[in-house]
Chain A
Amino acid sequence: MYARDIGDQLLTFGVSGRLWKDALVMYDHQTNSLWGHVIGKAIDGPLEGHSLETYPATQTTWKAWLRAHPDTKVLKKPKLWRSNYERYDADPRRMGIHGRRMKKSQLPPKSKIAGFELNGQMFAFPLSSLKPGQTLVPVVDEAPLLIYVDEAGQGVSLWRVRDRETLASYSLDPERPTQVVGRDGSVYSLLDQSRSLAGGDLVRMQVVIAYWFGWHNFHPLTEVLKP
Chain B
Amino acid sequence: MRTLSAIAGLLIALAVGLPAQLMVDGSRVYSVLPVDAIPAILDPAFVTGREAGRIMADEEQVIGVVGPNGTAVAYSTWHLDHHEIVNDVVDGIALAVTW
Residue positions of A touching B, CB distance < 8 A: 1-5, 10-21, 24-27, 34, 36-37, 43-44, 52, 55-63, 65-66, 69-85, 97-98, 100-101, 152, 154-155, 191-193, 195-196, 217
Contacts and interface: CB of A to CB of B under 8 A. Distances in A.
A194 to B, nearest CB: 10
Contacts of B97: 1, 57
Given A4-B95, A26-B98, A73 B84 contact: no
A71 B76 contact: no
Given A13-B40, A69-B66, A191-B64, A59 B31 contact: no
A168 B94 CA distance: 37
20 contacts: A2-B98, A12-B87, A15-B40, A17-B37, A24-B84, A43-B24, A44-B29, A59-B64, A62-B56, A62-B59, A72-B49, A73-B71, A74-B47, A74-B74, A81-B81, A83-B78, A97-B32, A192-B64, A192-B66, A192-B72
B16 to A, nearest CB: 8
B81 A83 contact: yes
Contacts, number: 227
B61 to A, nearest CB: 6
Contacts of A97: 30, 32
A56 B90 CA distance: 12
Interface in B28-64: 28-42, 44-49, 51-52, 55-64
A44 B23 CA distance: 10
Contacts of B73: 72-75
Contacts of B42: 12
B86 interface: yes
A3 B29 contact: no
Contact of B62 (A55, A62, A84): A62
Given A17-B37, A55-B95, A61-B61, A98 B8 contact: yes
A24 B30 contact: no
Interface in B1-40: 1-2, 5, 8-9, 16, 22, 24-25, 27-40
Contact of A18 (B30, B45, B63): B30
Given A26-B85, A71-B49, A75-B79, A18 B31 contact: yes
Nearest to A72: B72
Nearest to A17: B33
A72 B30 contact: no
A62 B31 contact: no
Contacts of B36: 14-15, 17
Contact of A59 (B46, B48, B62): B62
B77 A83 contact: yes
A73 B24 contact: no
Contacts of A71: 48-49, 72
B62 to A, nearest CB: 5
A44 B27 CA distance: 13
Contacts of B95: 1-4, 55
